[in-house]
Amino acid sequence: MPNDVVPVTIKGVMPTANGCAVFLGGDEKTFVIYVDPSVGTAIQMTLNGVKKERPLTHDLIGSIFLGLGATLEHILVNDAREGTFFARLLLRMENELGRKLVEIDARPSDSIVLALQQKRPIFVAREVFDGVEDMSAILEKVLKQQAEENDDEKRD
């Protein structure tokens, strides 16, 4: 694993007033990317293994990759500027035209859904990871509150 990237996983998805907060992180720290409600729902559905009656946009993109002979290698959150994150999809294409790697600019939120659907790794550029605020304590607090609320509901 190169030192210039950090592997991360989804640690939680929480609704917010304007969408969803996606908590990503590893052993060192956890950070947040805010996404619109529809993509937050798609991330949550994928994490929960929800089967859909009809393909959603991310399912369609996965089918297009398959039809073109492309596989998602991994995603990389490669930049953050003024609170906006940027990502790249790295695709490996093998078809009758040959083999090559293709890098595509994409929103991190869409990239995360595709990585989860196709069980591919999520990486963050070390520079981005080092520059984000550690939200581990906030995530822990929110998860504890949710667990307490669930316990209260079970008792009622």
The whole-number pLDDT of residue 111 equals 96
Residue among 1, 3, 21, 19 at smallest CA distance from 11: 21
- Using pLDDT thresholds of 50, 70 and 90, give the confidence band for residue 104: very high
| Residue 88 vs residue 54, higher pLDDT | 88
133: part of which helix (H) or strand (E)? none
The whole-number pLDDT of residue 2 equals 65
CB-based burial, 26-65: b 16+ in 10 Å, e otherwise? eeebbbbbebeeebbbbbbbbeeeeeeeeebebbebbeeb
Q: Amino acid identity, residue 37?
A: P
CATH number belonging to the domain at 5-155, selected among 3.40.50.720, 3.10.690.10, 3.40.640.10, 3.90.79.10: 3.10.690.10
The whole-number pLDDT of residue 1 equals 56
**CB of 132 closer than 8 Å to CB of 80:** yes
| Residue 6 vs residue 144, higher pLDDT | 6
% of the chain with per-residue pLDDT over 90? 60
- The domain segmentation of the chain, as residue ranges, is 5-155
- Using pLDDT thresholds of 50, 70 and 90, give the confidence band for residue 143: confident
Give the model confidence (pLDDT) of 58-94 as tens digits.
888 998 888 888 999 999 999 999 989 999 999 998 8
% of the chain with per-residue pLDDT over 70? 97
The whole-number pLDDT of residue 67 equals 85
